């Protein structure tokens, strides 16, 4: 087999190996995969935007 035929076949070998690769991950379902109760409360500076029964971290009065 000559060098020209090897160079011609080489790109197809890489294409075949990539064809067998498959994604095993999954997308996030925002309805079931996110703990919405754990996301709140939300405050900006000293202003409470969304309240909750969970404790909030202390924020500075002026964030700037």
Buried residues in 25-60 as b, exposed as e (16+ CB within 10 A):
eeeeeeeeeeeeeeeeeeeeeeeeeeeeeeeeeeee
Q: For residue range 6-54, what is the model confidence (pLDDT) as tens digits?
A: 777 767 666 665 555 677 788 889 899 988 888 888 888 778 888 888 8
Q: What is the pTM assigned to this prediction?
A: 0.39
Q: Which residue did the predictor score with more confidence, 1 or 5? A: 5
Token pair recorded at residue 38: 């754990």
Strand partners, 44: 47
Distance CA 47, CA 61 (A): 8
């Amino acid at each position: 087999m000559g060098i020209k035929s090897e160079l011609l076949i080489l790109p197809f070998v890489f294409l075949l190996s990539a064809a067998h690769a498959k994604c095993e991950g999954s997308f996030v379902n925002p309805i079931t995969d996110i703990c919405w109760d754990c996301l709140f409360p939300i405050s900006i500076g000293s202003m409470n935007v969304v309240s909750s029964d969970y404790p909030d971290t202390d924020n500075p009065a002026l964030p700037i």
